[in-house]
Structure 1
């Protein structure tokens, strides 16, 4: 019976979060719930829990954060109430409901678990400290608190709070201590490295060694120069388009009508050569200025791992406004990521410029060769026609 109830619980909690959970819950959402569910299942297996106990843990995992749909403070008690009401309506025994309520309440920060099942769900709820994506999930929690409290949290302050949490936190089950503790210690080591790096930058600023203004000037000047070069390339392409359009217009209006006369037969091939090279120059000019927009979808993970640049519209135009605002806030709070985005912007702008100027060089070469060959063909054709007649 409980297997069927777990399926119903999954559907209930998923719909509850989708319809009622605040969008400010960047961390305490369905993704976190599923992560806790997976971890309790793994820990229960390693701790040799019975099938019944494992299913009770899974049920508690599904409901342990549902209270966030109604309250912030004391959400564990609210979660227990929501779970209790749901399970009573589904006909679960009061004994099992009480166990699930106790498991949910055991996830409170100040509660020390007393039973094995409570230890398992407590370890699962805090297993993110041993996750390979720890810093990503930590940033999600920081953003959640920023939006909910409407108060900024400096990165260094947040990292120090994380450091204090690491110092106080402990895993309770034997399997978590074996499997998760080493990963937690590695995250703690990397956390300290981040703190040291930020503090070192603050010391440099205090000593007047901050190069931020110089770096910003460098990026501003270089990006402006590249934009000017791009504008010059577009202007050159437009000049070629205009010149060749005039040549084609003149040829079609003045030369082509005269080709019907036998006396003007010598104009056929030179005119054809001229038109071919003019059309080729126009096509190459259009290709050199044709815009190219990326079709890839940018994710938060890509932003935090420096895999993309959301400062370029071609990258962020598929993002929702909420995700874009989050990305900009993330850049403003992470100087290294911001400079990395500017570096990518400069690099890819350089690639675009290289393509434009390479095609423009080819276009001017085709135009120059076309003019020369067309002029020679007119002279040779006229000379040959004159000798024949």
Structure 2
């Protein structure tokens, strides 16, 4: 009999290694070895006859070889293969019949008729009562997808396993109930916890979406934030343009003072007085307007409680509170944040007055660049006319 067991193990190992499709991630040699190990664990607990022990062990090795033929009705295919193999070894007819019956007993939904069938059934589902169940179960889910038998999401697979644990599966042997059932219960609790956690996350996301859709708060805040940022960028651009023009005119005036003005003391250079005056006047005017465009305008910086209560003061602009005491300003801010309408009103006023400042800046800048351009053109024309009609007979080259 030991010879038959060793040949059975060799036959099953060879068949499941060489002829089984690689898509079988769960129903493979590893699963068969796990079932055989669980079978021996159960057999060590029960005092069975040698014939029963041998039949159950052989059935454990051969119970899934039918998958090498087809993924459907694999128990029937496995029983046929087992019968052919055992008959080839000249095994006793009773042993062949018993082994085939045990293989067919592993079919889902079959109710075991005796202890031997209970043992093989419990051994085949021993992974339910093992700590590695989640990893093993995931392999089965992937196998079903690869074989195009069924496709489950992780959530659907978890729900299906919960239903299986609760209503479709239970252990039959006393040993399995005492030793494997507690771990199976732990696995079920783990699945339920994951489901509960997932449900909470789903509800939380749905609530976020609902609040986002129902409440315009986020959209309003985004609108104020983007508009304020754009206004500040435009203000920075205006200040940069004014500073550029201020710097250019300062350099021009410095060059004129250093190189041209000293030459005007000579009577022979009187023809350059008017062009130089035009040049300096327009440059100075451009500088003055550039300064006006960037010059800050600070208000009184004070308010009273009546202004806050009547919502007349904008507490978000520093020019309205820079002279107030900290305690008064803190009180005013607390009053502001209590009233949502007051907050939006203050933000609106802030944007409005910032817009007025930008309008003033850009109007001044437009006039400044226009005056600078006109001044450059007139100055060049004036120098040309002066040199052409009023200058000396030959043009004196000015030092650089």
TM range (shorter): 0.5 to 0.7
Q: Determine if contact 2:141/2:151 at 8 Å carries over to the other structure.
A: no
Corresponding residue for 1:197?
Answer: 197
The alignment partner of 1:73 has SS state of coil
1:324-354 superposed Cα distances (whole Å, 9 cap, x missing partner): xxxxxxxxxxxxxxxxxxxxxxxxxxxxxxx
Corresponding residue for 1:111?
Answer: 110
How large is the Cα RMSD of the aligned pairs?
A: 1.5
Corresponding residue for 2:9?
Answer: 10
Cα distance, 1:209 vs structure 2: 6.6
Cα distance, 1:199 vs structure 2: 1.9
Q: Determine if contact 2:62/2:82 at 8 Å carries over to the other structure.
A: yes
Corresponding residue for 1:140?
Answer: 139
Query: Looking at CA atoms only, which structure, 1 or 2, has the larger radius of gyration?
Result: 2
Q: Distance in 2 between matches of 1:151 and 1:161?
A: 12
Cα distance, 1:12 vs structure 2: 1.0
Corresponding residue for 2:156?
Answer: 157
The alignment partner of 1:204 has SS state of helix
- Within a 5 Å distance, the mapping from 1:53-92 to structure 2 comes to 53-92=52-91
Alpha carbons of structure 1 residues 20 and 121: separation in structure 2 relative to 1, 3 Å: same
Q: Distance in 1 between matches of 2:116 and 2:29?
A: 22
Corresponding residue for 1:120?
Answer: 119
- Within a 5 Å distance, the mapping from 1:108-257 to structure 2 comes to 108-149=107-148, 152-167=151-166, 168-208=168-208
Cα distance, 1:204 vs structure 2: 2.1
Cα distance, 1:6 vs structure 2: 1.2
Q: Distance in 1 between matches of 2:199 and 2:48?
A: 46
Q: Distance in 2 between matches of 1:94 and 1:200?
A: 59
Structure 1 segments of 4 or more deviating over 3 A?
none
Q: Distance in 2 between matches of 1:109 and 1:15?
A: 26
Cα distance, 1:208 vs structure 2: 2.6
Cα distance, 1:197 vs structure 2: 1.8
Cα distance, 1:77 vs structure 2: 0.5
Q: Distance in 2 between matches of 1:3 and 1:207?
A: 65
Cα distance, 1:83 vs structure 2: 0.6
Q: Distance in 1 between matches of 2:179 and 2:112?
A: 19
Cα distance, 1:29 vs structure 2: 0.4
1:155-197 superposed Cα distances (whole Å, 9 cap, x missing partner): 0100000011101211111111111111111111111111112
The alignment partner of 1:172 has SS state of coil
Report the count of equivalent residues: 209
Corresponding residue for 2:100?
Answer: 101
Q: Distance in 1 between matches of 2:146 and 2:40?
A: 32
The alignment partner of 2:147 has SS state of helix
Alpha carbons of structure 1 residues 151 and 175: separation in structure 2 relative to 1, 3 Å: closer
Cα distance, 1:140 vs structure 2: 0.4
Q: Distance in 2 between matches of 1:22 and 1:198?
A: 35
Cα distance, 1:206 vs structure 2: 1.6
1:80-105 superposed Cα distances (whole Å, 9 cap, x missing partner): 01111000000101111000011000
Corresponding residue for 1:374?
Answer: none
Runs of 5+ unmatched residues, structure 2? 211-400
Q: Determine if contact 2:106/2:120 at 8 Å carries over to the other structure.
A: yes
The alignment partner of 1:158 has SS state of helix
Q: Distance in 2 between matches of 1:160 and 1:150?
A: 18
Alpha carbons of structure 1 residues 51 and 209: separation in structure 2 relative to 1, 3 Å: farther
Q: Distance in 2 between matches of 1:161 and 1:47?
A: 33
Q: Distance in 2 between matches of 1:151 and 1:209?
A: 32
Corresponding residue for 1:365?
Answer: none
1:13-46 superposed Cα distances (whole Å, 9 cap, x missing partner): 1111111101111100000000000111111111
Runs of 5+ unmatched residues, structure 1? 211-389
Q: Determine if contact 2:25/2:139 at 8 Å carries over to the other structure.
A: yes
1:247-291 superposed Cα distances (whole Å, 9 cap, x missing partner): xxxxxxxxxxxxxxxxxxxxxxxxxxxxxxxxxxxxxxxxxxxxx
Cα distance, 1:107 vs structure 2: 0.3
Cα distance, 1:50 vs structure 2: 2.5
Q: Distance in 1 between matches of 2:24 and 2:42?
A: 26
- Within a 5 Å distance, the mapping from 1:339-350 to structure 2 comes to none
Deviates more, 1:127-136 or 1:49-58: 49-58
